[in-house]
Amino acid sequence: MPATSPFERWRVAYDASTTRDATFTTMSGITLEPVYGPDDAEFPGQYPYTRGVHASMYRSRLWTMRMFAGFGTAVDTNKRFKDIIAAGGQGLSTAFDMPTLLGLDSDDPMALGEVGRCGVAIDSLSDMRDLFADIDLASITTSMTINSPAAVMLALFVAQAEESGVPRDQLGGTLQNDILKEYQAQKEFVFPPRASMRLVRDTIAFTATEMPKWNSISVSGYHIREAGSTAAEELAFTLANGFAYVELARSAGLSVDEVAPRLSFFFNAHIDFFEEIAKYRAARRLWATWMKDHYAATNELSWKLRFHTQTAGVSLTAQQPEVNIARTAIEALAGVLGGTQSLHTNSMDEALALPSEKAARIALRTQQIIAYETNVVHVADPLGGSWYVEELTDELERQAEQIFAEIANFGDGSMLEGCIKGIEENWFQGRIADSAYQLERSFNEGRRTVVGVNDFTEGNNDADLEILRITNEDERKQVQRLNEVKRDRDDGRVALAIEELTRDATDPEVNLMPALINAARANVTVGEMMGALEKVFGRHIEVPTL
Amino acid sequence: MTVRVLVAKVGLDGHDRGIKVVARLLRDAGMEVVYTGLFQTPETVAIAAIQEDVDVVGLSMLSGAHLTLAPLVVAALRSKGSDIPVVVGGIVPNNDLDDMKAAGIAAVFGPGASALEMVESINAVVRARA
């Protein structure tokens, strides 16, 4: 006889899942159920997934403690990656430096002073080899935070992995590849929006057929929030961008069920604890209903919004930086209570510099306290049913729907067109700047408190933390390395690969990934590949507005 | 006299939240603010500052390249015979403050600087030049 009530259906799903080897009781020995709620309520793992995408949530598997790292040369970052793995981190997340993010080689005049500073510098396949040296890419998942040159970086990654003996279909990980939010918030754009979207389309199509374990896009609200949006704007803009990518993939002949399961999401965990938890719950519900009702997805995996969380960089203060450990712990807890699939915790010193090794370790330890000491992981969606959190969830959902309606209106019903038009007309950028300004005024006028900044400032003159210093020596080493690569490669092969790439770029029907992988193998540099594409695509200039 | 400020992003750093918020706060304080957009070079900033005849240049730098790029903006201005002062806001560790001063940066505003502090400091820098 089929199970009838939501509870009974949940029970069947829960019983079918494996659980971790842990004791699911309180500290005092009270036995805990995996979830609480009336029999006819929505349960975790049930559409529309307000309460989580899995029936057993963290009882089966904790979130992935994925610490974002990258600085200096590939050799430096490779060492940090190995430290992260040794300290218990389970996934790698690569931060690239500004020149790499903009597709420039380290010897480009515009790269002066920026090489290796905000992340690792990657110029060619040889840097990719150093970055992942002695790391088994088949047994760990790798996230690469890169957007404008995402297709180029994916090509280098595939070329490197295959050279080291791991075929592309074994590679698990995520490419951020979310170009829409670059124009809206993060501002690391190169090509005009429509040309960039062609590159995104090519990576979606390529990974759909060749890389079954790969998430083609990490649709990111994180940067939208960091740029100053409200929680509702972060939620709505991010999901709208997600809808746009689904429509983009459909225009390339893929079905919604071929693309949606490969999209993952990335949200901020800001300091307003309950609002953040409600935001994650609303995000799952909105995505599920839109995938099912608007896009006619039939695969349950298309309905399930999986997300990575990072604590809010903007909430950190340079004043009394040790206090940031407490902020980050609270934000991380919101991510966990909201059911995140992976988490990065910021380090206390990130309002000052890239994190020191010690600060990064404390940030990871913060996650481990939540995971292994607090017992909050025993019960799924512990705030479900709270009158307060349920109402906040509903309210954020309502506000997001209003914003979706505005965006759809720009695009005459198309979210893809609406997102592009909203960018071209500076609508997203203007809204984010307005929200950032309103928030800043509230701090300046003392209507909101930031500990150590506009109140509780005793201790602000304490001794400085030891911070990570990146010297210009890394820049010199990296440029030297690039010169060696250029000296030692086969120039004829380079010219042919660039010619093929340029030819493919001029035909919008052709997928650019094969030509990019070929160019990567020929030691064509990131700057050369991007330069070839720019000749065909042109460059985006943002009209400066205040 | 109304203080005229050019706010600028030099180099590859796309973080523009700070510069936009500060620009509006300076406007609220009665200053005239010009913004030339992302990805400027020291040269383009110097030319714009001279053409716009501003009283001060404010650079927003969050990527760690301040010690390389801010002095180049000062040098570009001086090489064109301009004494327009340059101030910097953003992520500048305390250890770098002496080097910034030595490079001719008139003031540095770190994270958490209030609107009032910035306005007063810019006014002081402008007065000191006159």
A89: in domain:
yes
CA distances from A405 to A115, A249, A271, A348, A418 (A): 42, 21, 28, 39, 10
Question: Contacts of residue B32 in chain A, CB cutoff 8 Å?
Answer: none
- Which of B73, B122, B117, B89 shows the shortest CA–CA distance to B17? B89
Is a pLDDT exceeding 90 seen at residue A304?
yes
Q: What are the respective helix, strand and coil percentages of chain A, to the nearest 5?
A: 55, 10, 40
> How far, in Å, CA of A504 to CA of A188, rounded?
24
Closest to A479 (Cα-Cα) out of A139, A56, A115: A115
Counting Cα atoms < 13 Å in the Cβ hemisphere of A507 gives 9
Mean pLDDT of chain A: 95
Kindly state whether residue A507 falls inside one of the protein's structural domains. no
Question: How many helical (H) and strand (E) elements, i.e. helices and strands, does chain B have?
Answer: 5, 5
Residue A425 lies in a domain: yes
Closest Cα partner for A271 from A349, A335, A330? A330
Q: Does A68 fall in a domain?
A: yes
Reduced to 3 states (helix: H, G, I; strand: E, B; else coil), residue A147 is: coil
- Which domain CATH number covers A160? 3.20.20.240
Digit-coded pLDDT (tens) for B18-64: 999 999 999 999 999 999 999 999 999 999 999 999 999 999 999 88
- Exposed, middle or buried, A406 (CB in 10 Å: 0-12/13-18/19+)? middle
Per-residue pLDDT at A2 exceeds 80:
no
Between chain A and chain B, how many beta carbons pairs sit less than 8 Å apart?
112
Which carries the bigger pLDDT value, residue B19 or residue A464? B19
Domain span holding position A100: 60-444
Query: Is A269 among the domain residues?
Result: yes
Q: How far A89 CA lies from chain B's nearest CA (Å)?
A: 26
> Nearest CB to B63: which of A98, A110, A546?
A98
Q: Which residues of B touch A118 (CB under 8 A)?
A: 63-64
Are A91 and A49 in contact, with CB atoms under 8 Å apart?
no
Domain-located, residue A159: yes
- Examine residue A402 and state whether it is found in any structural domain, yes or no: yes
Q: Do A467 and B116 touch (CB under 8 A)?
A: no
pLDDT at A354 over 90: no
Q: Is B16 on the interface with A (CB under 8 A)?
A: yes
Instruction: Give the pLDDT confidence score for residue A215 in this predicted structure.
Output: 94
Q: How confident is the model at residue A366 (pLDDT cuts 50, 70, 90)?
A: very high
Supply the ipTM of this predicted assembly.
0.94
Instruction: Map out the domains of chain B with their CATH numbers.
Output: 4-85+99-111 (3.40.50.280)
Q: Kindly tell me if the per-residue pLDDT of A461 is higher than 90.
A: no
pLDDT at A472: 84
pLDDT digits (tens, 9 = 90+) for A141-175: 999 999 999 999 999 999 999 999 999 999 999 99
Whose CA is closest to A51, among A370, A344, A379? A379
Taking an 8 Å cut-off on Cβ atoms, the answer to whether B110 and A318 are in contact is: yes
Backbone angles phi, psi at B4, to 5 degrees: -105, 130
Name the pLDDT band for A293 (thresholds 50, 70, 90). very high
The answer to whether B6 and B57 have CB atoms below 8 angstroms apart is: yes
Task: Give the total number of structural domains in chain A.
Answer: 1
How far B65 CA lies from chain A's nearest CA (Å)? Answer: 5
- What phi, psi does B88 have (nearest 5°)? -130, 135
**For residue A413, pLDDT beyond 90:** yes
CB A227 within 8 Å of CB A432: yes
Q: Is residue A211 part of a domain?
A: yes
A348 and A356 Cβ atoms separated by less than 8 Å: no
Contact A295, A260 (CB under 8 A): yes
- State the pLDDT at residue A469: 81
| Subunit contact A114:B116, Cβ cutoff 8 A | no
Burial A103-113 (b: 16+ CB within 10 A, else e): bbbbbbeebbb
pLDDT at A417 over 90: yes
pLDDT score, position A89: 74
pLDDT tens per residue, range B70-89: 999 999 999 999 999 999 99
**A98 pairs with which residues across the strands?**
none
- B14 to chain A: which residues are within 8 Å by CB? 182, 186-189
Do the chains contact at A467 and B93, CB–CB below 8 Å? yes
- Is the Cβ–Cβ distance between A306 and A63 less than 8 Å? no
Distance (Å, whole) CA A339 – CA A543: 39
CA gap A240, A408 in Å, rounded? 9
Nearest Cα to A257, choosing from A207, A288, A298, A211? A298
Give the integer Cα–Cα distance in Å for B50 and B80: 9
B16, A187: Cβ pair inside 8 Å? yes
Query: Is any Cβ of chain A less than 8 angstroms from the Cβ of B89?
Result: no
